[in-house]
Amino acid sequence: MAGKLSFVGRGGNGDSIVMDAGADQGGIGWGHSPMDLLLLGAGGCASIDIILILKKGRKDVTDCEVDVFGERADEMPKKFTKIHMHFMIKGNNLSDDIVQRAVDLSMEKYCSASATLAAGCELSYDWKLSE
C-alpha cells in the first residue's frame, strides 16, 4: 500500500503502475482506478492487434487511438454491463475494407482482454479511418 487507498501493482516484467480509488471513495487520486485499468487494458490490447494485423499486411498505419466507454451496474459488485470502443485509425493508402477486417479480427478473434470482458457484458465497437 502506497497511501490511503493507493497501491502499486507490479507486472511480470517488473514494470509498475499506481492504482488509487477516487477521492469520493477516500482515495488520493494518485493513479487510475482498477476498473479504469480494465478498460485501458482492453483498448490497448485491441489497438496492438489492429496495428500488428495492418503491418503484417504491409499497410502503412501511422496511428491508432481508441476511446473506451463503460457503463456499470448500479448495485454491487458494479460490474461493467456495457463497453464500447471507438477506434480512430490513420495511415496512408488504407481502405475501409482493410481497416474493417483488421478491427473485426482483433475484436472477434485475437484480443484476449476484450474477449474476457465480453464474456460478462455487452461489448460493441466501431471505427473511423483518416489519412
Residue pair 61/51 in contact (Cβ under 8 Å)? The answer is yes
Instruction: Set out the domains of the chain in order of their start, with CATH numbers.
Output: 1-32 (no CATH), 34-130 (3.30.300.20)
To the question of pTM greater than 0.85 for the whole model, the response is yes
Is the pLDDT at 120 greater than 60? The verdict is yes
* pLDDT tens figures, 59-75: 999 999 999 999 999 99
Residue pair 125/66 in contact (Cβ under 8 Å)? The answer is no
Question: What is the end-to-end Cα distance of the chain in Å, rounded?
Answer: 45
Residue pair 33/72 in contact (Cβ under 8 Å)? The answer is no
Beta bridge partners of 127: 87
Residue 21 pLDDT class (50, 70, 90 cuts): confident
Q: Which three cell numbers stand for residue 50?
A: 489492429
